[in-house]
A = this chain, B = another copy of it.
C-alpha cells in the first residue's frame, strides 16, 4: 500500500483522555480510534492486524474440525430466561424493541448456539459437533480503562462443542488446549503464556484460562516455571500447589487472560431440551464445552508486550505489512531523487508480485527523520531504505525492527531475501 494514500497519520502524542498504554500506542500509530470508553474503531492498519490474528485462530480451529457460523448479537429475552441467566448475568446490555420485545446484546452465545445445533442433531451418529464464530461481544462493564484489554464492545472467537458423552468431551477439551498453545506460539506469546487453573463452576473441578504475563494484566496468577502451569489467585486458597507437579514453588505474576475454556456439562442442552438418540435408543442431552479467545484483546496484549521506546514491534505473522519500504527525498539533486523514486517504485512492484505485503512510504513532503519515526512507531518487522547513498552501490539498507540489525543488500538479491523473511 502507498503510504501517501493511507488516510491515517502517526502522531507523537497520545490523546489525553486515554490512560491505557496499549490504546495510547495503537492510537498514536493510527491503528485504532477511540469512540468512547472501551469502544474503539479499527483503522486500516489495525484492521489488518486484527484480521491476521483471526486468520491464525481460524486456521487452527478448522484443524480441530470446527465449522464456522455467525450468530446474531441481538438475542431474545426468552433464550436467556430458559437458562436462568437473564437476571444473573451482570454485564448484559438489555434493550427493548418497538413492539416491547426485550433483547440482550449477546455477551456469550450458549443461548443461541444450543437451540440452533439442536435442530440438526438427532442421533449419536451426528455427534460430536464443533461450531465456532468470530462475533462482536458486548459487556456492560462499569470500568473500561484498559484499552483493548477490556472493551464494552470487543471481538471474540467462541467455539462450542457437543458430545455424546463425557469421555468424548474430555478428549476434545485436551485437543483444544494443544490448539490454543499452537495459536499463542504463532502469535509469539508462547514463552509468556501459562495454562492457568481457575474455578470450574458446577461441572468440573477446574476451568482453564490461558494467561499471558504482562504488567498491564488485571489478573494475578501463581506460576510454576517447571510445568508452565499456573493457579489463578481466585482459587489459590484451595489449590496452593502446582496442579501438575505438586510444587509449592509458585511465583506471583500479573497476567492478561487471553483465552478460557470450560466444560459445561448438560446445563445448556438440558435448558433447551436438546436430546439425541443414543446407541441404545434413549433420548439423552449432549455434553457441551465452550472455548473463547478474543482477537481484539490479543491485539492489545501484543501491543503491551511487543514495543520499545520508539513504537510497536509486531511479530511477523500479525504485522500489518511484512515490509516497510522507505524512499528518501534529498533536498538537493532533483535528478537523483527521481532516480531513487523510480528504483523504489520498481522494488515495490517486484515485492508485490511475489506476494510480500509492503507499506511503501512514498510521501514527498516528509523528511527522512519523519519517515523513520513513523516507521518505528508502526513497527513492521523489516524496514527497507532506498537512498542516494545506497543506490550509489546498487544496494538498499534492510533493518530488522526487533533487533536493530542492519544489512546492506544488493538490489538484485533483495526480492529473494525478503521472500524468505516474509515466509513467501
Residue positions of A touching B, CB distance < 8 A: 5-9, 30, 33, 35-36, 39-44, 47, 50, 65, 67-76, 79, 93-95, 97-99, 101, 105, 112, 116-117, 119-121, 125-126, 129, 131, 136, 138, 140-142, 152-153, 365
Of B7, B44, B79, B120, the contact of A7 (CB 8 Å cutoff): B120
A365 / chain B contacts, CB cutoff of 8 Å: 125
Instruction: List 20 A-B pairs, Cβ < 8 Å.
Output: A5-B65, A6-B67, A7-B129, A35-B72, A35-B75, A35-B76, A35-B116, A41-B69, A41-B112, A41-B116, A43-B69, A44-B68, A47-B68, A50-B70, A74-B153, A93-B97, A95-B95, A97-B152, A98-B142, A136-B136
A99 / chain B contacts, CB cutoff of 8 Å: 142
A125 / chain B contacts, CB cutoff of 8 Å: 365
A406-B74 Cα distance, complex, nearest whole Å: 45
Q: A7-B129, A41-B112, A120-B7 are in contact. Are A136 and B73 (CB under 8 A)?
A: yes
CB distance from A99 to the nearest CB of B (A): 6
A129-B76 Cα distance, complex, nearest whole Å: 39
11 extra interface residue pairs, beta carbon distance < 8 Å, beyond A44-B67, A95-B105? A6-B67, A7-B67, A33-B119, A35-B75, A36-B76, A42-B69, A42-B70, A47-B69, A73-B153, A94-B95, A97-B152
A354-B50 Cα distance, complex, nearest whole Å: 29
A94-B96 Cα distance, complex, nearest whole Å: 8
Q: Which 5 A-B pairs have the closest CB atoms?
A: A95-B95, A42-B70, A7-B129, A33-B116, A74-B153
Copies of this subunit: 2
CB distance from A35 to the nearest CB of B (A): 5
Of all chain B residues, the one with the shortest Cβ separation from A128 is B7
CB distance from A184 to the nearest CB of B (A): 24
Q: A98-B142, A129-B7 are in contact. Are A74 and B39 (CB under 8 A)?
A: yes
* Contact in complex: A152, B5 (CB < 8 Å): no
A101-B37 Cα distance, complex, nearest whole Å: 11
Of all chain B residues, the one with the shortest Cβ separation from A36 is B76
* Contact in complex: A70, B93 (CB < 8 Å): no
A47 / chain B contacts, CB cutoff of 8 Å: 68-70
A152-B44 Cα distance, complex, nearest whole Å: 28
CB distance from A12 to the nearest CB of B (A): 14
A94 / chain B contacts, CB cutoff of 8 Å: 95
Q: A69-B44, A140-B97 are in contact. Are A120 and B39 (CB under 8 A)?
A: no
Q: A39-B74, A73-B153, A76-B36 are in contact. Are A7 and B142 (CB under 8 A)?
A: no
* Contact in complex: B72, A40 (CB < 8 Å): yes
* Contact in complex: A30, B70 (CB < 8 Å): no
* Contact in complex: B67, A41 (CB < 8 Å): no
CB distance from A319 to the nearest CB of B (A): 17
CB distance from A63 to the nearest CB of B (A): 13
* Contact in complex: B153, A72 (CB < 8 Å): yes
Of all chain B residues, the one with the shortest Cβ separation from A127 is B7
Q: A35-B75, A136-B73 are in contact. Are A7 and B131 (CB under 8 A)?
A: yes
* Contact in complex: A152, B74 (CB < 8 Å): yes
A47-B69 Cα distance, complex, nearest whole Å: 6
A125-B95 Cα distance, complex, nearest whole Å: 44
CB distance from A287 to the nearest CB of B (A): 16
A71-B117 Cα distance, complex, nearest whole Å: 30
A140-B100 Cα distance, complex, nearest whole Å: 11
A7-B40 Cα distance, complex, nearest whole Å: 35
